[in-house]
Amino acid sequence: MRVLTTVEDVRNQVKAWKKEGLTVGLVPTMGYLHEGHASLVQRAKNENDRVVVSVFVNPTQFGPNEDLATYPRDLEHDAELLESLGVDILFHPTPEEMYPGKARTWVTVEDLTTGLCGKTRPTHFRGVCTVVSKLMNIVTPDKAYFGRKDAQQLAVIRQMVKDLNIGIDIVGCPIVREADGLAKSSRNKYLSESERQSALVLSKAVAEGKALVAAGQTCTQTIVDAMVRVIESDPTAKIDYVEAVDALTMAPVTEIKEPVLFAMAVYIGKTRLIDNFGSDEVNDAN
Ligand code: PAF
C-alpha cells in the first residue's frame, strides 16, 4: 500500500492504472476506521481492480461549535487496517493540500440538505459535497462507496452525482452494528461506559420501528411516536430529530407508499449519534 499525501501523486498513480485498463474504487473516510469502514473497503476490493481510501478530517463540514479539533484520529491504526485489507493507496492529505488558498467555489445540493441533520448543521452538506467532489475529481474512480448509516449524506451525494453528470457509480453499503445493536461510529469513542449503555436506545428504536413496519403499519407518525417513546425511556437521551422522509428526496411523508427512511439523531450526553432504517429493508427481509 502506498501512503500518498499530495493530489499530484494520486493523479499520477491513477493515470498509470487507467493506462493498464484497471478499474478504481474510492472509499472516502475521515479516518479512525472501524468495521463499518472495513465493509466498504471489502466491497470496493471485490468490485474494482484497485482501491483508494482517503483519510481526511474535512474541516469544511464541521460547524463552528462542532468537534473538528477533538474528532478522533489514529493514522497508524488506520494504515495497518487498510494494509491488511489490501488497499492500494491511502490518501492522507493535509487541509492545506485539499484547500490551498481561499476557496470561492462550493458544491451545494438544495432541498435534500435543509431537513434532518441539515436543520442543526446548516453548512455540513456543503462541506461534504465540496470535499467529495474534490476527491472524485482527484481520484476519478469508477465507483465510490458510502455507508447507509449516513443515509441523508448518501441521498445528497447521489443527487449531486446525478445533477452534475458525474460518471461515477455510487454504492451504498449496509450499516454495521456492534453485537448489541449499536451502529458502528467513530464518535462512539466519546461515550462513557454508562452512556454506551444509554446509546442502545437508538438501535432499540430502529428495532421497534422495523417491527411496526413488518406488522403492516403504514402511518409514519405512529411509527415515529413509538420510536420516540423508546428513546425517551432513557433520561440521558435527548432527541435532535426522529423523522420519516421519502428515501430519495428527504421530504417528510405521512404514509408508507414509496420507500421511507426513518432517521434519527440523538444526543447521548454531549455525543450526537445517528441511526436509521429504510421501510424497504423491512419488506426485503420478509
Ligand atoms: O462520511 C464521512 O466520513 C464524511 O462525511 C466523508 C464522506 C468522508 C466526507 O468527508
Query: Quick check: pTM over 0.95?
Result: yes
Digit-coded pLDDT (tens) for 146-196: 999 999 999 999 999 999 999 999 999 999 999 999 999 999 999 999 999
**Hey, is 211 helix, strand or coil?**
helix
Cell of 213: 413496519
Mean pLDDT, range 10-20, rounded to an integer: 98
Mean pLDDT, range 128-153, rounded to an integer: 98
Q: Tell me which residue of 78, 30, 55, 49 sits closest to 143, measured CA to CA.
A: 49
In three state form, how does the secondary structure of 8-22 look?
Answer: HHHHHHHHHHHHCCC
| Beta-sheet strands, E only, within 10-91 | 24-29, 50-55, 89-91
Q: Tell me which residue of 254, 263, 53 sits closest to 154, measured CA to CA.
A: 263
At 286, the pLDDT band (50, 70, 90 cuts) reads: very low
**Structure letter (DSSP) for residue 233:** T
Residue owning the nearest CA to atom 5 of ligand 1 = 128
- What atom of ligand 1 comes closest to residue 157's alpha carbon? 7
Annotated catalytic residue 37: yes
Give the CA distances from residue 63 to residues 13, 58, 120, 126, 127, in Å, rounded to whole numbers and listed in that order.
34, 11, 9, 11, 10
Cell of 137: 475529481
Q: Tell me which residue of 48, 45, 53 sits closest to 82, measured CA to CA.
A: 53
Task: Tell me the pairing of strands 271-278 and 89-91.
Answer: unpaired
The reported pLDDT for the residue numbered 255 is: 98
- What atom of ligand 1 comes closest to residue 28's alpha carbon? 8
Q: Tell me which residue of 148, 144, 151, 150 sits closest to 170, measured CA to CA.
A: 144
Alpha-carbon distance 145 to 243, whole Å? 25
Q: How many helices (H) and strands (E) does the chain have?
A: 11, 9
Residue owning the nearest CA to atom 9 of ligand 1 = 128
- What atom of ligand 1 comes closest to residue 57's alpha carbon? 10
Digit-coded pLDDT (tens) for 78-112: 999 999 999 999 999 999 999 999 989 999 999 99
Element (H, E) at 232: helix 220-232
Under a CB-based contact definition with an 8 Å cutoff, are residues 217 and 234 in contact? no
Q: Would the CB of 131 count as within 6 Å of ligand 1? A: yes
Q: Choose, from 37, 77, 92, 124, the residue flagged as catalytic.
A: 37
Q: Would the CB of 40 count as within 6 Å of ligand 1? A: no
Dihedral, 254, 123, 32, 84 alpha carbons, nearest 10: 80
Mean pLDDT, range 68-86, rounded to an integer: 97
Under a CB-based contact definition with an 8 Å cutoff, are residues 229 and 223 in contact? no
CA angle 280, 281, 284 (to 5 degrees): 85
| pLDDT for residue 285 is more than 70 | no
Q: Would the CB of 93 count as within 6 Å of ligand 1? A: no
Owner of C-alpha cell 482527484? 138
The reported pLDDT for the residue numbered 283 is: 62
